[in-house]
Chain A
Amino acid sequence: EIVLTQSPATLSLSPGERATLSCRASQSVSDFLAWYQQKPGQAPRLLIYGASNRATGIPARFSGSGSGTDFTLTISSLEPEDFAVYYCQQRSSWWTFGQGTKVEIK
């Protein structure tokens, strides 16, 4: 099973700051990686698929990069609605998720 490790577990930032979230795979997943945002009491929302492709309706401040084992989700300038938990997910072998990174208000 491919294990995804996200870091940091918690990121404390202020609105307007840049957020950089990391996801590392235990073996190569090529670019079969997606990112999701989840707010309390809500279902996850797809942000990025194929490592770097924004899903429909996702603002341009969200970007994804990486391939193989190391991936990054960047939020260029945090808006108040961006404070949430973010998960990466791989589809190289059967679906697995990372443990999540919480982006909280500093």
Chain B
Amino acid sequence: QVQLQESGPGLVKPSGTLSLTCAVSGDSISSSNWWTWVRQPPGKGLEWIGEIYHSGSTNYNPSLKSRVTISVDKSKNQLSLKVSSVTAADTAVYYCARVPFFFYAFDSWGQGTLVTVSS
């Protein structure tokens, strides 16, 4: 049973960089899955941020592409998210999730971590 666990600072200053890590257990980051990030502002809906394959291939939401970087660390079996130049609009619960290859649905999710952008 795969488990995903997000971690990182819960408070980031405006104009700073948000950095999160998602530790994967019960599955290899090098298996046939896309590893994704999704966020949810308080009281609002879900927004897909981007995804990465273990080869390093990435896809990003065009609305966030200029500020987002997703990477994998195979030695630690984890993926990371960086969002630069953050504003209050980036305040959200951030989830990592797994999308099996050719499955096109998010079948496993982390519990999420709240990141607040505030001075």
Does B bind A?
no
Instruction: List residues of chain A with CB under 8 Å of any chain B CB.
Output: none
